[in-house]
């Protein structure tokens, strides 16, 4: 199996009736024995918030799988969040 790693940057905006918050994720995708499957790992951090989320802070890890055959990305974000 050849070694292949690709680095991804994602900016995720969550919006609701009480405000918004933005999560920045830096993810490394690594090729598996099946070229249609990539394993993901990385870190995330809350970088901005408005309204009720203006004082929201948090960070953690992200893990997941990209399955190009099924056109499916599955990721789990774990960590700690808190309000000031």
Condensed to tens digits (0 to 9), the pLDDT of residues 55-76 reads 999 999 999 999 999 999 999 9
pLDDT surpassing 90 at residue 23:
yes
Measuring CA to CA, which residue among 32, 83, 27 is closest to residue 55? 83
Q: Which residue would you say has higher pLDDT here, 3 or 16?
A: 16
pLDDT at residue 2, rounded to an integer:
53
pLDDT at residue 3, rounded to an integer:
61
Measured CA to CA, the distance from residue 73 to residue 1 in angstroms comes to 22
How many separate domains does the chain show?
1
Condensed to tens digits (0 to 9), the pLDDT of residues 33-54 reads 998 999 999 999 999 999 999 9
pLDDT surpassing 90 at residue 83:
yes
Range of the domain at 19: 5-83
- Kindly report the CA angle at 21 between 26 and 84, in degrees rounded to 5? 100
| pTM for the whole structure | 0.87
pLDDT at residue 8, rounded to an integer:
86
């Amino acid at each position: 199996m050849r070694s292949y790693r690709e680095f991804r940057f994602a900016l995720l905006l969550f919006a609701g009736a009480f405000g918004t918050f933005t999560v920045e994720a830096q993810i490394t995708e690594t090729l598996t024995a099946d070229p249609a499957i990539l394993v993901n790992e990385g870190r995330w951090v809350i970088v901005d918030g408005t309204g009720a989320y203006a004082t929201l802070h948090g960070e953690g890890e992200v893990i997941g799988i990209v399955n190009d055959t099924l056109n499916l990305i599955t990721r789990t974000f774990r960590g700690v969040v808190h309000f000031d």
